Copies of this chain bind each other. A is one copy, B any other.
Amino acid sequence: METDVYAKNCPSRQVLDRIGDAWSVLIVSSLKDGSLRYTELAQRINGVSPKMLTQTLRGLERDGIVTRTVHAVVPPRVDYALTTLGRSLLSLCNALQDWAEMHIGDVLDAREAYDSRV
């Protein structure tokens, strides 16, 4: 059936869920210029809680999008970086953000028109 393409557990849907997660996009975008430490990520991504940061990073690591490197030093130091797969996802995230910045005006206008139209 053609409709299966849109089924909940179809391949693209699983990827969509990850891309759809705002924190994931934000993390991947933050890592565009190279690796960052846990705290550096936390600082760059405004409003993320430690819980969500860790959770999202684990998901990205599991999906092969970021690497997690623990340095055996005191105090601990953990670096996160994009994998090759992650960098390919980055292009997509950039496309997302480019579209967003380019069309946010249109969207906002449309909303205003819709809302004032009752």
Interface residues in chain A, defined as those with a beta carbon under 8 Å from any beta carbon in chain B: 2-4, 6-8, 11-22, 25-26, 29-30, 43-47, 61-65, 85, 88-89, 92, 95-97, 99-101, 103-104, 106-111, 113-115
Q: Nearest Cβ in chain B — how far from A35, in angstroms? A: 18
If the complex has contacts A4-B46, A22-B13, are A107 and B95 also in contact, measured as CB distance less than 8 A?
no
Interface of A is mostly: helix
Per the bound structure, the CA–CA distance linking A25 and B99 in Å amounts to 14
Q: Nearest Cβ in chain B — how far from A10, in angstroms? A: 8
CB pair A110 B96 closer than 8 Å: no
How many copies of this kind of chain does the complex include? 2
For A107, give its contact among B8, B64, B92, B109 (CB under 8 Å): B64
Per the bound structure, the CA–CA distance linking A61 and B107 in Å amounts to 10
Per the bound structure, the CA–CA distance linking A61 and B113 in Å amounts to 11
If the complex has contacts A44-B3, A101-B11, are A107 and B25 also in contact, measured as CB distance less than 8 A?
no
